[in-house]
């Protein structure tokens, strides 16, 4: 007995030591990643200082104020040099990241790319334009972390297709931006690089998971960025930060080498695919970026991308549109300012000669509870849980992670107990992932349900003979920490990931004192804990951007952008 007890005690002690050593190793990896980032920042500071000493008379504010189209024209004609523009944006990006923690890493190879484009005879559409890219978009020699410890030891062996095409068009990728851990949150925080803040209010989040892009561009540290979107990760940061952002049809742009194989489960399941898209200050910038990317180089490098060049004629068209609209999806009521934004935009469009038609998206409760998250958590969330090495989980994700850990039997009991309370159950099911696909047959049936819903939605769209749809987007910017508690609030953006429709966001207004007063009367649909939490999340937002969402049918990105441009023009006139 004594020997057995000694053995048991020794084994327990060995287990404790082994776990401690494992955690210590993880901490060292995280510290090394942060140290590497900080050293990269210091190098960029020196590079910028050296440039300033060489050319002290650079008109920084004048360069930073130029819209992308005007900046490209100045670069093409030679009145501005790519070197001046690059170092101007490097300097501003350093300033913005000190305030917001938006950068994960500078790309020192940007200086090599600068030399490369200056040697070329032909100037691409994005000649000399500094561009930022989201953390998981592959750039040779750099990490693609997704905010996960397990990804800290793997460097990209080559550029992603998208980065290759950007470079071919003369762009200069200069920074990689911070993301939410595993890309599965619309906050922007991870245990390695920390919390990114909104440049307009440090109490607020910039949104996520492309929140680093949102904060950097909104703060003026980048003129054009590339994000990704699988539930609103381009559109929510655009809404929270007052930017224009486009989620294209998923297959319109290449996603090759933008995701790590061991974390694809949390980023790109096939029934609801991940889409890459541009984020910028205005719609013309998005259009120019899409035009540059949709070129023969991309079609050759990635033959899975349909060879459909950008249709300039559609984007430049000016005829009246038949526009469907709705101000709520009937699932998660948004704050008064977002409802106001849709109503005012609808009135402006109608006054401009467009035809506005009421439209109601079908069965959003069903989409949220049965289609969207069931796609990601068909296995009960086990594959997703596996990406959290050493159980290192960001606080913004702990509610979802803890729910995934609930035993399957307990989930079934919860489903039976709560079934009569449908609205409450729908919100709980979305967070707790109560229902999973229990067999291959059930998984195939789930895929069929997705296709059936897409058909139903398109049929309703066609019956009303719509060109595009105007609808709300979640906003204004949440206070940090709240997105993890309100996963169900993304129904406005998530819908168009399920449908795989192109959808974009355009800022049209700002939160007013009257909006804040009206928020005090907000009760949602049920006045339940989730509705009250949303009220808390968006409070104190006076002066922050308010946006709307514009949608078109699959493969009609040019029409979606043309509609966004119309909304942008009318809102600026107002």
Helices (H), 389-490: 398-404, 408-418, 422-432, 440-463
Q: Do domains 29-305 and 319-378+443-573 have the same CATH topology?
A: yes
pLDDT in tens, 161-210: 999 999 999 999 999 999 999 998 999 999 999 999 999 999 999 999 99
pLDDT of residue 157: 94
| CA pair distance 241, 229, nearest whole angstrom | 16
- Which of 160, 440, 387 lies closest to 265 in space, CA to CA? 387
Q: Binding-site residues for substrate, please?
A: 183, 209, 230-233
- Which of 334, 134, 161, 160 lies closest to 237 in space, CA to CA? 134
| CA pair distance 147, 150, nearest whole angstrom | 9
pLDDT class of 413 with cuts at 50, 70, 90: confident
Please give, one letter per residue, the 3-state secondary structure of 518-542. HHCCCCCCCCCHHHHHHHHHHCCCC
Q: Binding-site residues, please?
A: 183, 209, 230-233
Whether the CB-CB separation of 453 and 446 falls below 8 Å is answered with: no
Question: At residue 104, does pLDDT exceed 90?
Answer: yes
* Residue 41 CB neighbour total at 10 angstroms: 16
**Distance, CA of 351 to chain centre:** 33
| CA pair distance 185, 194, nearest whole angstrom | 14
pLDDT in tens, 57-74: 899 999 999 999 999 999
What amino acid positions are annotated as catalytic residues?
Answer: 134, 209, 233
How large is the greatest C-alpha to C-alpha distance in the chain, in angstroms? 90
| CA pair distance 221, 570, nearest whole angstrom | 27
Give me the numbers of helices (H) and strands (E) for the chain, helices first please. 23, 13
User: Any idea where the domains of the chain sit in the sequence?
Assistant: 29-305, 319-378+443-573, 379-434
pLDDT in tens, 458-498: 999 999 999 999 999 999 999 999 999 998 899 999 999 99
pLDDT of residue 443: 84
Question: At residue 417, does pLDDT exceed 80?
Answer: no
Please, what is the end-to-end C-alpha distance for the chain in angstroms?
85
pLDDT class of 128 with cuts at 50, 70, 90: very high
CATH number of 319-378+443-573: 3.90.1300.10
- 512 burial (CB, 10 Å; 0-12 / 13-18 / 19+) is middle
The residues near 536 (Cβ < 8 Å, ≥ 6 apart) are 479, 482
Task: Decide which of 433 and 279 is more confident.
Answer: 279
Architecture category of domain 29-305 in CATH: Alpha-Beta Complex (3.90)
């Amino acid at each position: 007995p004594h020997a057995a007890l000694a053995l048991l005690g020794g084994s327990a002690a060995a287990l404790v030591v082994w776990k401690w050593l494992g955690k210590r190793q993880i901490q060292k990896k995280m510290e090394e990643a942060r140290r590497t980032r900080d050293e990269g920042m210091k190098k960029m500071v020196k590079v910028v200082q050296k440039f300033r000493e060489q050319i002290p008379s650079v008109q920084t504010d004048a360069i930073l104020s130029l819209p992308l189209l005007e900046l490209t024209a100045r670069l093409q004609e030679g009145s501005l040099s790519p070197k001046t523009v690059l170092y101007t944006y490097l300097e501003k990006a350093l300033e913005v990241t000190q305030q917001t923690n938006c950068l994960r890493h500078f790309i020192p190879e940007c200086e090599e790319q600068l030399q490369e484009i200056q040697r070329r005879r032909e100037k691409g559409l994005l000649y000399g334009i500094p561009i930022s890219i989201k953390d998981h978009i592959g750039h040779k020699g750099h990490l693609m972390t997704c905010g996960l410890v397990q990804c800290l030891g793997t460097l990209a062996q080559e550029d992603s297709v998208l980065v290759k095409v950007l470079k071919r068009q003369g762009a200069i990728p200069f920074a990689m931006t911070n993301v939410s851990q595993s890309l599965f949150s619309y906050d922007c925080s991870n245990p390695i690089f920390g919390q990114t803040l909104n440049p307009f209010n440090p109490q607020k989040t910039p949104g996520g998971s492309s929140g680093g892009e949102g904060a950097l561009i909104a703060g003026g540290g980048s003129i054009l960025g590339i994000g990704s979107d699988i539930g609103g990760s381009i559109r929510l940061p655009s809404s929270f930060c007052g930017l224009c952002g486009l989620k294209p049809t998923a297959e319109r742009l290449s996603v090759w080498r933008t995701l790590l194989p061991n974390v694809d489960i949390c980023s790109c399941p096939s029934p609801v695919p991940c889409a890459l898209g541009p984020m910028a200050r205005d719609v013309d910038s998005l259009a120019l970026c899409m035009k540059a990317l949709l070129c023969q180089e991309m079609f050759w490098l990635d033959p899975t991308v349909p060879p459909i060049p950008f249709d300039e004629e559609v984007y430049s068209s000016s005829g009246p549109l038949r526009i469907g609209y709705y101000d709520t999806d009937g699932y998660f009521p948004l704050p008064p300012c977002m409802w106001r934004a849709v109503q005012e935009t609808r009135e402006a469009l109608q006054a401009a000669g467009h035809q506005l038609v009421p439209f109601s998206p079908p069965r959003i409760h069903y989409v949220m509870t049965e289609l969207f998250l069931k796609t990601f958590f068909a296995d009960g969330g086990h594959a997703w849980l596996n990406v959290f090495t050493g159980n290192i989980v960001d606080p913004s994700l702990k509610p979802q992670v803890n729910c995934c850990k609930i035993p399957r039997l307990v989930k079934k009991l919860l489903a039976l107990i709560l079934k009569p309370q449908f609205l409450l159950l729908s919100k709980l099911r979305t967070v707790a992932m109560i229902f999973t696909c229990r067999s291959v047959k059930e998984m195939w049936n789930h895929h069929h349900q997705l296709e059936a819903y897409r058909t139903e939605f398109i049929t309703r769209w066609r019956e009303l003979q719509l060109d595009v749809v105007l609808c709300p987007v979640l906003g204004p910017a949440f206070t940090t920490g709240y997105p993890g508690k309100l996963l169900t609030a993304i129904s406005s953006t998530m819908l168009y990931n399920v449908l795989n429709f192109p959808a974009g966001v355009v800022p049209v207004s700002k939160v007013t004192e009257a909006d804040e007063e009206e928020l005090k009367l907000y009760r949602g649909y049920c006045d339940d804990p989730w509705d009250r939490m949303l009220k808390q999340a968006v409070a104190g937002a006076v002066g922050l951007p308010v946006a709307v969402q514009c949608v078109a049918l699959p493969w009609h990105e040019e029409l979606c952008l043309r509609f966004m441009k119309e909304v942008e023009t009318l809102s600026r006139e107002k």
